Amino acid sequence: MKQKSPLSKASLPTATLISAFCLFAGPVSAPAMAETLPTNLPTNLKVDYSIALGGFNLGTADVEANLGDGIYQLDATVKTEGIADQFFETTFALESRGSFSGNRVKPARFISTYQDADSSRRVELTYPSRGAPVMAAEPAYGDGFGPHVQLNDILMTQDPISALLLPTMTATASPCDRSLPLFDGRRRYDLQLREDGMTEINGGENAYNGPAMRCTVGMLPVAGYERKTLIKLLAREDSIRVWLAPLEGSDVWIPVRMTLRTPFGGAVMRATRFEIASNE
């Protein structure tokens, strides 16, 4: 009989941070040699990711993105597998729609659908042209946005899946050295990226192989948290590393690998297969 793990209650922020692992990659060029093309180049991206914890298979993340005409569409499925399925079978279906604005993305709608053996919930955030995002949850939360989350806290925020797209103003600009104000409908936090140098990723056959920018990622909790242990872990400046690759033909960078220390061992998420194609 499958038991409901206490980790399942933290799955969304965990999947959110691990989703900084989780995106797609395509053929890339080194930043100094890349040709600068418009970010609205029609592109379709598909990727499969594996998630491991302490050397054991924990789950998968499948992501598909369509970029074109200054807008993006992201769809992701994150689900447990292997040993994790024996204790807390969980699936997240995540969607984000929005547009590019300089070196930022501006979401228009975010949908998260959570399901485990005992419960399910659908959360939708819509982003008006001005003001705070509006949330609709089914079933509804009894405390609104979450513990101590105020409207001022969530102004100018973006959803966590849109944070997987990191546009820059030019091909030579660093995708790191930025702060991402994120809100998933319950938890409000900043991810602070700092550049840690260029390196090479050798993922093997059907995976990503090429240059990548390594970044350290710090988490700054703002509101909505009840688990102090989780906060302390995620707020450690040196606990998260992400490797970003430039998407050829645009000024958009994407994560191809991420590592995270946990009390249960090191967590690693990496692309096992990715595809890129023009929509033209």
Tell me how many domains the chain contains.
Answer: 1
Please provide residue 102's backbone torsions phi and psi, each rounded to the nearest 5 degrees. Answer: 65, -125
Q: Enter the pTM of the model.
A: 0.80
Task: Report the pLDDT value the prediction gives residue 224, as an integer from 0 to 100.
Answer: 82
Task: Report the pLDDT value the prediction gives residue 153, as an integer from 0 to 100.
Answer: 92
Task: Report the pLDDT value the prediction gives residue 251, as an integer from 0 to 100.
Answer: 79
**Per-residue confidence in pLDDT tens, the chain, 280 aa:** 444 433 334 344 344 434 333 332 222 223 333 333 344 456 888 888 888 888 888 888 998 988 888 899 999 998 888 777 677 788 899 999 999 888 889 999 999 998 888 889 999 999 998 889 999 999 998 888 877 888 899 999 999 999 888 888 776 788 898 999 999 988 898 989 999 999 998 877 777 788 889 999 888 888 887 765 556 665 655 678 999 887 776 778 888 898 888 777 788 888 888 777 765 5
Instruction: Tell me the one-letter amino acid at 267.
Output: A
Which residue is it, tokens 């204790």? 87
Residue 238 lies in a domain: yes
What domain range includes position 196? 6-278
Q: Are 49 and 274 in contact (CB under 8 A)?
A: no
Residue 1 lies in a domain: no
CA 61 to chain centre: 10
Residue 148 lies in a domain: yes
Compute, in degrees rounded to 10, the torsion defined by CA atoms 91, 62, 50, 255: -120
Residue 33 lies in a domain: yes
Give me the helices (H) in the chain, please. 11-18, 228-234
Which residue is it, tokens 């033209």? 280
How far, CA to CA in Å, does 104 sit from each of 79, 167, 256? 28, 6, 19
Task: Report the pLDDT value the prediction gives residue 221, as an integer from 0 to 100.
Answer: 85
Residue 193 lies in a domain: yes
pLDDT digits (tens, 9 = 90+) for 61-100: 998 988 888 899 999 998 888 777 677 788 899 999 999 8
CA angle at residue 219 from 214 to 224, to 5 degrees? 150
